Amino acid sequence: MPETITVKVSDGTEISAYTARPLGQPKAGVIVFQEAFGVTDHIKRVTDRFAHEGYLSIAPELYHRTAPAGFAAKYGDMETVKPHSSALTLPNLEADAKAAFDWLKSQGVSKIASVGYCQGGRTSYIANSTLPLSAAASYYGRIAPDLLDRAKDQRAPIILFWGGADKGIPLENARAVADALRTAGKPHTHIEFSEAQHGFNCDDRPSFNPEASEQAWGITLTFFKKHLF
pLDDT in tens, the chain (229 residues): 799 999 999 999 999 999 999 999 999 999 999 999 999 999 999 999 999 999 999 999 999 999 999 999 999 999 999 999 999 999 999 999 999 999 999 999 999 999 999 999 999 999 999 999 999 999 999 999 999 999 999 999 999 999 999 999 999 999 999 999 999 999 999 999 999 999 999 999 999 999 999 999 999 999 999 999 9
The structural domain count of the chain equals 1
CA 176-181-185 angle, 5° bins: 145
From first CA to last CA, the distance across the chain in angstroms is 21
Q: Which residue among the candidates 64, 118, 202, 227 is catalytic per the annotation?
A: 118
Region for residue 41 given its phi and psi (left: phi exceeds 0; alpha: psi -120 to 50; beta: otherwise): alpha
CATH number, position 186: 3.40.50.1820
Q: Which residue among the candidates 64, 166, 188, 227 is catalytic per the annotation?
A: 166
Q: Which residue among the candidates 84, 188, 198, 227 is catalytic per the annotation?
A: 198
State yes or no: is 202 an active-site residue.
no
State yes or no: is 166 an active-site residue.
yes
State yes or no: is 118 an active-site residue.
yes
The model's pLDDT over 169-199, given as tens digits with 9 standing for 90+, comes to: 999 999 999 999 999 999 999 999 999 999 9
Domain of residue 25, residue span: 2-228
Q: Output the pTM of the full model.
A: 0.98
